[in-house]
Amino acid sequence: MADAPHKSVTYHDAGVDIDAADAMVHRIRPLVERTYDPRVVDNFDGFAGAFRMDFSETLLKRNYRDPYLVACTDGVGTKLKVAFRARRLDTVGIDLVAMNVNDLICCGAEPLFFLDYVAVGKLDGDRMTEIVRGITDGCVEAGVALLGGETAEMPDLYKPRQFDLAGFAVGVVERRRVIDGADVEPGDVAIGLAASGLHSNGYGLARKVLLGRKGTRLNGKPPELGGATLGEELLRPTRIYVRPVLAVLGNYRVKKPVKAMAHITGGGLVGNLPRVLPEGVTVRVKRDSWPVPPIFEMIASAGPVDQIEMMRVFNMGIGFVMIVSKHFAEPIMNRLRRSGQRCWPIGKVVKGGPELTWA
């Protein structure tokens, strides 16, 4: 009697669903295309995206003389663990875009396009659509095209409801308009732009002190948060600074009153601001010159975490800093405020360094 034929093993048996991946791609297409402008060469199903830089159409005329391409990459970090616990995935995509484009603009670059990488344990069309919707929301806010991406289903590396995110942004700046901090000098003013909350840094410490205790609920409403739940506060998306910052830079076609810019991420002011300063100068920061959001006071109290550590880990309410000529500080702050961006003069450049000083 002949042996019964063995059933062929499929990729689906190994935990990877090709059909679900194909269906997801078509499902997210309208979300991706909402980020396009006429500079995108429409090739949705291609192996790579294409983007036009130089062209003369009236609507979006771009003719660069001596352009530099600028690129960066970043992720969202362990903020994702809060999203898993809260079962809310619509904000972390905004974080992903923000963490990249906010880095990109520090040298004066205009962000052009964005790429994403999503690694999942099990592909779920509804969850993926929620994630990609957040990414496209961030792209629309930043004025960048979501030019391509990759979704990898890896059941051997991630649990079914887990995923990781990485993003990649590319921008352009004219060589003569590059902002590199070389001209910063004593007397310049540091303008702090308000953060929306924790942004996407320090979550290892924040989760330990806020969520590591029994009985802590993400849907609880601590009185300090003014009616928001703890989950809402921890998942508040990172502010995207592209439009207000580019509005300032675009207002000065000849002069360069903005001398340096820093995205305040992991390391806080003390770790990020010195990175953009030339040798021989530092910033004397005035501690009480901006309001510190209540979430940071909650973390400090719950730990307890001392203020030195808080300043080393968190943005403390300042998500971006522009160092500008003192003669232009007021008009620049007025323009930022007209763009809807809260800001304050948080310090002045003085001789010294490399560490910040405090007043």
- Token digits of residue 83: 């999203």
Answer for the pair 90, 133: CB distance below 8 angstroms, yes or no: yes
Q: What confidence tier does 260 reach under pLDDT thresholds 50, 70, 90? A: very high
Mean per-residue pLDDT, 158-186? 96
- For residues 22 and 14, give the distance between their C-alpha atoms in angstroms, rounded to a whole number: 17
The gap from C-alpha 78 to its chain's centroid, in whole angstroms, comes to 14
- Token digits of residue 4: 């019964």
Helices (H) and strands (E) in the chain, counts: 11, 12
pLDDT at 133: 96
Answer for the pair 321, 346: CB distance below 8 angstroms, yes or no: yes
Q: Which residues in the chain are classed under CATH 3.90.650.10?
A: 189-358
pLDDT digits (tens, 9 = 90+) for 1-60: 556 667 787 777 777 777 777 777 778 888 999 999 888 887 767 788 888 887 766 666
Superfamily of chain region 189-358:
PurM-like C-terminal domain (3.90.650.10)
Task: Examine residue 291 and say whether the peptide bond preceding it is cis (omega within 30 degrees of 0).
Answer: no
Q: What class, spelled out in words, does domain 18-177 have in CATH? A: alpha beta
Instruction: Tell how strand 145-153 and strand 110-120 pair up.
Output: parallel
Residues 6+ apart with CB under 8 A from 206: 198, 234, 299, 314
pLDDT at 199: 98
Q: What is the 3-state secondary structure (H, E, C) of 263-275?
A: ECCCCHHHHHHHH
The one-letter amino acid code at 151 reads T
pLDDT at 191: 98
pLDDT digits (tens, 9 = 90+) for 197-233: 999 999 999 999 999 877 789 999 999 999 999 999 9
- Token digits of residue 109: 């670059």
Q: Which residues in the chain are classed under CATH 3.30.1330.10?
A: 18-177
